[in-house]
Amino acid sequence: AGPVESKNEAAMSELVPESRQKPVVPMKPTGINANLLGYIGIDTIIEQMRKKTMKTGFDFNIMVVGQSGLGKSTLVNTLFKSQVSRKSSGWNREEKIPKTVEIKAIGHVIEEGGVKMKLTVIDTPGFGDQINNENCWEPIEKYINEQYEKFLKEEVNIARKKRIPDTRVHCCLYFISPTGHSLRPLDLEFMKHLSKVVNIIPVIAKADTMTLEEKTEFKQRVRKELEVNGIEFYPQKEFDEDLEDKTENDKIRQESMPFAVVGSDKEYQVNGKRVLGRKTPWGIIEVENLTHCEFALLRDFVIRTHLQDLKEVTHNIHYETYRAKRLNDNGGLPPMTVETEENHESNL
């Protein structure tokens, strides 16, 4: 088991994934201890679900993709406030840039407010670092599909596990280099191919390299390029469930994303407070200060508001697409599983 954290944050309740069920018949507003005629108690199901989730905990698998040195590991560590990703921080002599893309998955259990999250960070060292990067996204696409296949095999098993271990990638953070110009050809190619199989959240890395003006211009440019090239990043327009979703997500899609972020695991004293930041001769960059960078927006988005949705879209859309294709290829039949008890990797 990895690092365990207990915090009494006011936001702890927000970590519990909210149910997306909306009541069919609007309930009459009631007090908690109402014994009034007409109160059934159906709304207590939310509390039941919350208790259940707290007991079972949940899986979250996040993949990071981008050239080496863009701060991927630091960002993930900052997101989850713990050393969940081993920093490459300069390759050691023995650890050169891999010649092909490698997939490295590391799991940790983090706890907050009584809720346990089994977080798996999937790193992709070697992506985009070679002289010839043709098709370097293929190992990544392969890995993602392999997780769908694993889940599918488990699903079609006769004697199924009560809770299928979920290794599917729920979220893929794609790191864009802050050149200030435009996307690079490799960025386009990757996102074109992978946005069809996984939720991609593009982020602009090391955003402390740009002034406010440069940042705004660059974000606009990137958004336009993504649109012109038909790349649907998460939250995808076609999966907005209702008007409420659409309004909220439109704002995120058209104004906030891609999030321009800065990561850090070092603390400094600023105005009497300890803050995460980067210290330079000309000032301290505060990671969680919204006037400095958009890290807090990314964190809230991925963890505090859209965590459950990321999982649902992965399950209901991406996985189903994969499943349908597999069944079709197989002539409508589920894939054969010979073994009744597969040796699943322990996720801890």
Partner 1 sequence: YTQLLFSCQFSDSAGYVGFANLPNQVHRKSVKKGFEFTLMVVGESGLGKSTLINSLFLTDLYPERYIPGAAEKIERTVQIEASTVEIEERGVKLRLTVVDTPGYGDAINSQDCFKTIIQYIDNQFERYLHDESGLNRRHIIDNRVHCCFYFISPFGHGLKPLDVEFMKALHGKVNIVPVIAKADTLTLKERERLKRRVLDEISEHGIRIYQLPDADSDEDEEFKEQTRVLKASFTPNFIPFAVIGSNQLIEVKGKKIRGRLYPWGVVEVENPEHNDFLKLRTMLVTHMQDLQEVTQDLHYENFRSERLKRTGK
The residue ranges that bind partner 1 (CB under 8 A) are 67-71, 88-91, 97, 129-134, 177-189, 205-206, 208-209, 211-212, 221, 225, 228-229, 278-286, 289, 291-292
Query: Long-range contacts of range 163-167, CB-CB < 8 Å, 24 or more positions apart?
Result: 163/56, 165/59, 165/344, 165/347, 166/59, 166/61, 166/311, 167/59, 167/61, 167/105, 167/120, 167/347
- Among the listed residues 24, 99, 94, the one whose alpha carbon sits nearest the alpha carbon of residue 68: 99
Alpha-carbon span 131 to 140, nearest angstrom = 18
**Choice between 183 and 313, CB closer to partner 1:** 183
- For residue 84, the minimal CB distance to partner 1 (Å) is 20
**C-alpha Rg value of the chain to the nearest Å:** 22
CB of 292 to partner 1, least distance (A): 5
Q: Closest distance between partner 1 and the C-beta of residue 218, in Å?
A: 10
Nearer to partner 1, 131 or 348 (CB): 131
- Closest contact distance (angstroms) between CB of 275 and partner 1 is 11
Shortest reach from residue 254's CB to partner 1, in Å: 19
Quote the least distance from Cβ 190 to partner 1, whole Å: 10
Q: Do residues 317 and 239 lie in contact, with contact meaning Cβ atoms separated by under 8 Å?
A: yes
Cis previous bond, 258, omega within 30: yes
Cβ-based nearer residue to partner 1, 168 or 278:
278
How many of the other CB atoms lie within 10 Å of CB of 325?
12
Distance CA 271, CA 235 (A): 37
How many Å apart are CA 264 and CA 271, to the nearest integer?
A: 18
Decide whether 61 or 74 has the Cβ nearer to partner 1.
74
C-beta of 154 vs 214, nearer to partner 1: 214
Q: Which is nearer to partner 1, 152 or 298 (CB)?
A: 298
DSSP symbols for 16-63: SPPP----SSPPPP--TT---TT---GGGHHHHHHHHHHHH-EEEEEE
**Min separation Cβ 124 and partner 1, Å:** 15
| Residues in Cβ contact with 85 at an 8 Å cutoff, skipping those fewer than 6 apart | 64, 72, 73, 74, 76, 77, 106, 121, 123
Q: Using the minimum distance from each CB to partner 1, give the nearer residue, 31 or 281.
A: 281
